[in-house]
Amino acid sequence: MKAYNPKGHSNYSDEAVVMTRVERIPQPQRVTFDPETHALVVNLAATCLQLVGIVEAITDPTMNLADENDWQQIQSIPLIPSGSAATRREATVLSLVTRRRNSNGRALEEDFVDDAQESIGAQPVVTGGDVRVRVKLCLASDHSVCGDTTEAECKYNCNPLQVPENG
């Protein structure tokens, strides 16, 4: 930088690298999860931060009072910031779906997988009430800098130990 003023001007100053620090990473406003289709929807407020959604799950239905160490990261979802408006991001939690080979014949190669048969053989790892899902937002450049988690609301009753409100 060089300064000009009525008393004269200065030489260029030495280069300085400056980095700002984010005070608080936002948390998702709302997260919904459909245990039948494994569809996840994350709603977040307007932000200019480059974020990634970290999806965590517990697949044991008896884990009603889960400890932080019981949650396992299962997927990350890149998020595109809107800056001026709230964002809705939809994804399928693929790690909760397993692939099963259905084969009508033998392949010459051991690792051969027919894509058409592979998609037909997709079966859920967990069913309806066997999973709890939550999402936290982290800086895309540093996944260790994260906001608070938001547990997903379920389309159906995700936890069979809870009694539905309607009876």
17/126: higher pLDDT: 17
Q: Is residue 106 part of a domain?
A: no
Provide the number of structural domains found in the chain: 1
Which residues are bridge partners to 31 per DSSP? 42
Is residue 164 a part of any domain in this protein?
no
pLDDT by residue (tens digit) across 24-74? 899 999 999 998 888 999 999 999 899 999 999 987 756 666 677 788 999
Domain extent for 131: 21-101+111-154
Rounded-to-integer distance, Cα 88 and Cα 54, Å:
15
Q: Does 135 reside within a domain?
A: yes
Q: Is residue 13 part of a domain?
A: no
Following DSSP, what letter does each residue of 99-142 receive, concatenated? E----SS--SSTT---HHHHHHTEEESS-GGG-EEEEEEEETTE
Q: Which residue has the tokens 């084969």?
A: 103
Nearest to 29 by CA among 93, 90, 88: 88
CA distance 92 to 36: 11
Give a yes or no: residue 97 inside a domain: yes
Asked, for residue 4, whether it belongs to a domain, the answer is no
> Rounded CA gap, 81 and 22, in Å?
15
Q: Tell me the whole-structure pTM to 2 decimals.
A: 0.65
C-beta atoms surrounding 58 within 10 Å: 19
